[in-house]
Amino acid sequence: MFCIVGLGLCDEKDITLRGLEAVKSASRVYLEAYTSILMIEKARLESFYGKEVIVADRDMVESEDGSNEILKNADKEDVCLLVVGDPFGATTHTDILIRARQLGIPTRVIHNASIMNAVGASGLQLYNFGQTISLVFFTETWKPDSFYDRIKENIDGGLHTLVLLDIKSDSFFFRGRKVYEPPRYMTVPQAVSQLLEIENMRREGVLDPDKTLAISMGRVGGFDQQRILAGPLCSLLRASPEDFGPPLHSLIIVGKRLHHLEVEYGELFAEDLGEAIAVAEEDGRNPELGQQGRKGGRELWRKVAHEAYGVALS
Amino acid sequence: MFCIVGLGLCDEKDITLRGLEAVKSASRVYLEAYTSILMIEKARLESFYGKEVIVADRDMVESEDGSNEILKNADKEDVCLLVVGDPFGATTHTDILIRARQLGIPTRVIHNASIMNAVGASGLQLYNFGQTISLVFFTETWKPDSFYDRIKENIDGGLHTLVLLDIKSDSFFFRGRKVYEPPRYMTVPQAVSQLLEIENMRREGVLDPDKTLAISMGRVGGFDQQRILAGPLCSLLRASPEDFGPPLHSLIIVGKRLHHLEVEYGELFAEDLGEAIAVAEEDGRNPELGQQGRKGGRELWRKVAHEAYGVALS
């Protein structure tokens, strides 16, 4: 049996009991390193599971030779591939499932939370989201902009857009050994700057730096490390890096069908951080904010939502 | 601390380790019965957790008196509310979080898989989904049809639509005690029939019984019970009830941007069930199907996808 196990959002405790059972009974356990390099370290998992975890990099999971190695003997014994989030978050995992089927190997998928549903932590309703987009690091010569059309479609329909930000984890060979560079994570200001760069080129009025609302989501499900910031695009561009918290981040471009209940959710923990940014945090650390928000954050968030999208306030 | 814990998709083993810790350390544990009545029984959870689980019906979670009872003393002790799927799957849960904040109670959310991301088990890519819709049971006099506009927006954009099907769990008072009727779950044929009824009224050509592809998702993440059926709407209308498996079901209306890789995923397990239905199942039970599909299911699914949406086949 070949089993892909979703590890969930943050650390070793986000695995499900069913997932843990699969890991414990497996003869070999692989950790998909490309998306999972961030928050869960191999050594920590190994000591937690009490067994060896083999790191599978992107080449391994995506190449035929590599995936054959992972799937070796999986018709006779149990092999697990661990992935951050849910197994269907990346096409790579679909490919290796197809490969297993082609080899006549039974497959199983153990689901978990991923940013695709945990984005609800923003207070925005999941059914008001349109299609999700991915934003890659621009280079001088490569600035793919098809995401702009996707955002436009969502904006035209009044819908929110979840923007997944690029992770780059380069590797090179040194003395015959593969060496990994530290991964680079796209920051929210970088993402906003790329979005506005394309708006400046295309000029179809999809994104307005001063009016379009956005929400930055950092380490969703990571409790003490979770950070949720809201404000117009320009305010997220100017905010201090510390305010966003540690990576990984995602960004939501808020749609114009924004409902007053969606605004209300963030209100009670809202905090004015100076750069016209409201914080709509959910982490249980600051219950005293529950009454009112801090430094006028509540009023600011209501005002911003009203001025941008005309959200009626009670 | 007030903590909402997502139970995931199916049974008591789908909780995360973090969620289980929260349950174990709580003074009171509530189970949200409206959405969770289906697959996880209170008694089974109680024996699994080794502690009492209090059933909270919809009235309790949604009313101020009821939610105050749940939140009682939660500023001093730990109270858990268990919900099926992810805590942000229903607005009800957002409401009780807001209520807790208003009372100055620290809150925490423990995420899990929900149909909103587990729908990837269909082989369709999550980023190709547009907005999600809910379909309620029609009555003679009440046939809300705003979902039709939402589907149209998705179809126009080439996007898939996840359709969540209604659950009805009526209760009444008998000799001063609340009595629950057995819950009714909308079946896929009922859902398809309602969709086509509105198409017949509105006649905007959004849904074509013979051409529009749909995928029925039954007990996603439920392993041996999971059933995934694909075909034109009319074939899902005519299929035998057993083919869909036990409730709960969801439905996907497949968008026209359907990619050949999305078709390929279902191919290898596809089985022709007679009513022009292909099965795109993922459960590890029938590895021998991996080579080819059964009874020409593979060819049928490819043909249907090609004829409906012109998906290019390799």
Residue-range domains of chain B with CATH = 2-113 (3.40.1010.10), 116-309 (3.30.950.10)
- Which tops the pLDDT comparison, B167 or A26? A26
Interface test with A, best of B18, B84, B260 (most A CBs within 10 A): B18
Quickly state the pLDDT bin for A284 (edges 50, 70, 90): very low
> B229: exposed, middle or buried (C-beta count within 10 Å: 0-12, 13-18, 19+)?
buried
Binary contact (A109, B288; C-beta < 8 A) = no
pLDDT given at position A290:
46
Handedness of CA B69, B75, B81, B85 (dihedral sign): positive
User: What span, in angstroms and rounded, lies between the C-alpha atoms of A41 and A314?
Assistant: 47
DSSP B171-185: EEEETTEEEEPPPEE
| pLDDT tens for each residue of A166-223 | 988 777 778 887 777 777 899 999 999 999 999 999 999 999 999 999 999 998 988 7
Annotated binding site of A for S-adenosyl-L-methionine: 9, 86, 89, 114-115, 165, 220, 249
pLDDT given at position B279:
60
- Which tops the pLDDT comparison, B222 or A19? A19
| pLDDT tens for each residue of B131-145 | 999 999 999 999 999
DSSP 8-class letter at B138? P
pLDDT given at position B284:
44
The answer to whether the beta carbons of residues B246 and B219 sit under 8 Å apart is yes
Which tokens in the block code for residue A220?
A: 């969703």
pLDDT at B269 over 80: no
Quickly state the pLDDT bin for B77 (edges 50, 70, 90): very high
For chain A, positions 257-286, list CB contacts with chain B under 8 A.
261, 264-265, 268-269, 282-286
Share of chain A above pLDDT 90, in %: 54
Q: With CA atoms as reference, report the closest residue to B226 among B248, B206, B255.
A: B248
pLDDT given at position A81:
96
Chain A residues in contact with B108 (beta carbon < 8 A): 223, 283-284
Share of chain B above pLDDT 90, in %: 54
pLDDT given at position A83:
93
Task: List the single residue in B18, B125, B282 with the smallest CB-CB distance to A107.
Answer: B282
Per-chain mean pLDDT for chain B: 87
For residue B280, give how far its alpha carbon lies from the nearest alpha carbon of chain A (Å). Answer: 12
Size of interface A-B (CB pairs under 8 A): 209
Quickly state the pLDDT bin for A15 (edges 50, 70, 90): very high
- Which tops the pLDDT comparison, B174 or B191? B191
User: What span, in angstroms and rounded, lies between the C-alpha atoms of A215 and A228?
Assistant: 7
pLDDT given at position B314:
63
Range picked from A262-266, B63-67, B295-299 for highest mean pLDDT: B63-67
Quickly state the pLDDT bin for B310 (edges 50, 70, 90): confident
Please, where are the H alpha helices in chain A? 17-25, 33-36, 42-49, 58-62, 64-71, 91-102, 115-118, 146-156, 188-202, 233-238, 241-244, 260-267, 297-309
pLDDT given at position B278:
60
Residue that has been written with the tokens 């014994």 in this structure = A77
Q: What is the CB-side half-sphere exposure of residue A45 using CA atoms within 13 A?
A: 29
Chain B residues in contact with A91 (beta carbon < 8 A): 125, 261
CB of B231 within 8 Å of a chain A CB? The answer is no
User: What span, in angstroms and rounded, lies between the C-alpha atoms of B65 and B69?
Assistant: 6
Chain A residues in contact with B113 (beta carbon < 8 A): 6, 86, 111-114, 117
